Amino acid sequence: MKLAELAFACYIYGKFADSNSSYLQFLDNTSPQLDLNNENHRIALLNWLNEWGCRQFAIAYHGLASEEIRSWFQDLGDQFFPLDKSLIDFSDYDFASVITAYTGLVNRIASKRLSRNEGQSEVTFGPTGTAKILFAIRPNAMIPWDDAMRTNFQLDGSAGDYVKFLKKVRNNLEELNEICIRSGHRLSDLPELVGKPKYSLTKLMDEYHWVTITRNCPAPTRQELNQWALWW
């Protein structure tokens, strides 16, 4: 990955994705940090997930989903890694804790819907909703994913494959770290450099994946950029 590719994707994401404003509002609503023991914070999380495209969290069942999140978070206890830990610093123990957290959440009940025989079926949090919640509580290390990303990287929705995804992202961050060092910057400078100082490194990586994979809009080549500059 090139730094210019990341900067391009973050620029495009900011222009065409509505989720930037909803994410900033979510951060404001849960300031100074998300607390899943707080009911208002859990509802703010569910509202943000709805705005971020997670339709499994039907508004009529927010109370049910909120209680599922509370129960999961209490079961998780102190097993999870610290809030300020970065993905690039992860140990095997940290990855194991992610598998525990992911497995405990993915099959919980997000809502219910009428089935064809007029009965009710349960809708689970699923892999996309689970990853977004993990990102919400640990934004410095976790990262969202969606169907398009899983297909692109040939991953399923299991906890093990989510860890594979995290390791791939960590490799990307290590590459970007080397580029930053050669350019006279720190990796931690990246959010500021791309104009998004409130965002984590994994949030920037998610924007890159969303633009280049989910929306199939790869960054232009150096040759294309040089040609455009001549036209300026």
Q: Tell me if 67 is assigned to some domain.
A: yes
Q: Give 90-119 pLDDT, tens digit per residue.
A: 999 999 999 999 999 999 999 998 777 767
* Residues of the chain where predicted confidence (pLDDT) is lower than 50: none
Q: Tell me if 216 is assigned to some domain.
A: yes
Structural domain of 136: 3-220
Number of domains the chain is built from:
1
Q: Tell me if 228 is assigned to some domain.
A: no
Q: Tell me if 226 is assigned to some domain.
A: no
Give the pLDDT confidence score for residue 16 in this predicted structure.
77
Give the pLDDT confidence score for residue 114 in this predicted structure.
79
Q: Tell me if 187 is assigned to some domain.
A: yes
Q: Are 106 and 124 in contact, with CB atoms under 8 Å apart? A: yes
- Kindly report whether the peptide bond that precedes residue 32 is cis, defined as omega within 30 degrees of 0: yes
Q: Are 112 and 120 in contact, with CB atoms under 8 Å apart? A: yes
Q: Tell me if 94 is assigned to some domain.
A: yes
